[in-house]
Amino acid sequence: MAYGIALADVIEQVRALFERDAKPMPGIGETLLSAYESGLKRPGPEYLHYLCTVYRVEPIALGFDSPCICGHGHRMPGVLTSEVVKDRSSPAPERELVLHPMGPDPDAEEDENILRRTLLSLLHTDTNLAEQLEGPVLGACEGIRRRMDETMVSATVSAAMLDQWEEATLSFGRQYTTTAPLRLLCDVMLELSAVRTAMARRQPIDLQERLCRMAAQLAGLSGMIMINLGDHRLARSFFRTGRTAADETGDRALRAWICARESLVPLYFGDAREALTLAKKSRDLAGSTPCPAQAMAPVVEARALATMAATDNNKEIVDQARRALARARSAFAHMKPEDKEDLAFGYTEKQLYFYQGDVLTKLGQTIEAEVVLDQALDKYEDHVLDQTLIRLDQAHCRLIDGDVKEAVAIGIKALTLLGDEYLTDFIVRPALALEQAIMSRDADAPRIGEFRALIRRPRQATLKGGG
């Protein structure tokens, strides 16, 4: 209205910018733009960037306190954000709105800018995943996590903003199954940094509890993403931050969820006994409260016990693993329906099938395992990483049954369907374990060279996303 233009004009300019940058036409329309204006929805980092470009203002002028992902100002090309922004609602050019930020932290801003530049690079170009992870990106993630540890107190924030952050947090949980890890990590880190900024000064108790809950969920989700990226050290650090935040809420179910998710770190990276200890701790934290951890924790127990049984071949351990699976199925039956639909913050039926199949595979019970793994694969339509892990388990089943040729074929299919951006240590480790098992059975197995080449192919990421 201040510019004297209609919603349709803004939409056309945004689309023109997308076309200029050789990007697919966006789905933004007048209804969505109106929802952004009214605060019913929050634009993603890409849409926000283009809206700022159209209006030639910074995000704060549009009601958003996070800097733009491009890392520079929009009022003039190449000019850094000023703390003085013209109030465009007044025709008088001399009228100005002076913004007073909440204590700028140069280190925090630099970490955020690193992530914004990385996110912008992922949106526009092909990027080498390994270089991104080994460079400043991990340092920026660790910096944000450390400052969150140091903050745990807050600044006044509106209830509407908290609603938007909670909605964004749940949205990131849904994206966990469909978005490449590094891309999602950047989005989650920027949201976590915004929550940390809001926690820089003391809040009313009810708002502070909501902020702590979001901090715990975002830190836990960051730990899950770090597992997928193969960085177990940072994964543990994020789960530790999540525990600190969850403790502030007093919510046993949330604390149990963080602990159950953390138990996957030692499970995937070689310490089954520690995974078993953390899973039991999660079960104790959950108590009798129906929650996702009540089902997830005993499944992790079963997977850890099955891993131990594979080397020990102890019948008592095998029986313990089967009893843990039975507890998981019983707990799942009593979970809330909404928790059974949430892959990140809940626990779904397809996750239960997948983990049961993994346990049965490790126990060598291949007939039952293959039935359950087939059920799991039928239900996984969009989670690329778990699809791959399920197929690797299926290959192990065929190998145990003596069908080396089919085991290699399934392994090749699993890695062929996997995009390069998902080929992290999280996937490479079980693939190498399968390779080693095949080579010990038949070093000259048909197509084994092709399978080995797929494991060692260059890890190039082609991550592109929308608003």
How confident is the model over 4-18, as pLDDT tens digits? Answer: 677 888 888 888 888
> Measuring CA to CA, which residue among 375, 426, 343 is closest to residue 129?
426
> What average pLDDT does the segment 153-182 reach?
80
Distance in angstroms (rounded) separating the CA atoms of residues 438 and 399: 7
pLDDT in the model for residue 133: 60
CB hemisphere CA count around 465 (13 angstroms): 22
State residue 151's pLDDT score. Answer: 64
Please state the rounded mean pLDDT for residues 447-464.
76
Average pLDDT of the chain to the nearest whole number: 83
Least confident of 95-99, 217-221, 386-390, 422-426: 95-99
Q: How confident is the model at residue 59 (pLDDT cuts 50, 70, 90)?
A: confident
Residue 231 has pLDDT above 50, yes or no: yes
* pLDDT of res. 208: 86
pLDDT of residue 366: 94
Tell me the H-state helices in 230-363.
Answer: 232-249, 252-262, 264-268, 272-286, 292-312, 315-333, 349-362
Q: Which residue has the tokens 């992530």?
A: 115
Exposed/middle/buried for residue 11 (C-beta within 10 Å: 0-12, 13-18, 19+): middle
Q: Which residue has the higher pLDDT, 407 or 35?
A: 407
Q: What percent of the chain has pLDDT over 70?
A: 85
Mean pLDDT calculated for residue range 284-307: 94
Q: What is the pLDDT of residue 85?
A: 33
Instruction: Reply yes or no on whether the pLDDT at 141 is more than 60.
Output: yes
| pLDDT band for position 466 (cuts 50, 70, 90) | very low
In this prediction, residue 132 carries a pLDDT of 54
Give the Å distances, CA to CA, from 370 to 358, 373, 416, 437.
10, 5, 21, 18
Q: Residue 126 has what pLDDT?
A: 57
Q: How far, in Å, are 58, 152, 218, 269, 394 from residue 275 at the CA level?
A: 46, 28, 22, 10, 23
Tell which wins on pLDDT, 448 or 422: 448
Judged against a pLDDT cut of 90, whether residue 101 lies above it is answered with no
pLDDT band for 134, please (50, 70, 90 cuts).
low
Q: Give residue-wise pLDDT tens across range 178-229.
A: 888 888 999 999 999 989 888 876 677 888 889 999 999 999 999 999 998 8
Task: Please give the average per-residue pLDDT across 46-72, as a whole number.
Answer: 82
CA distance 24 to 117: 21
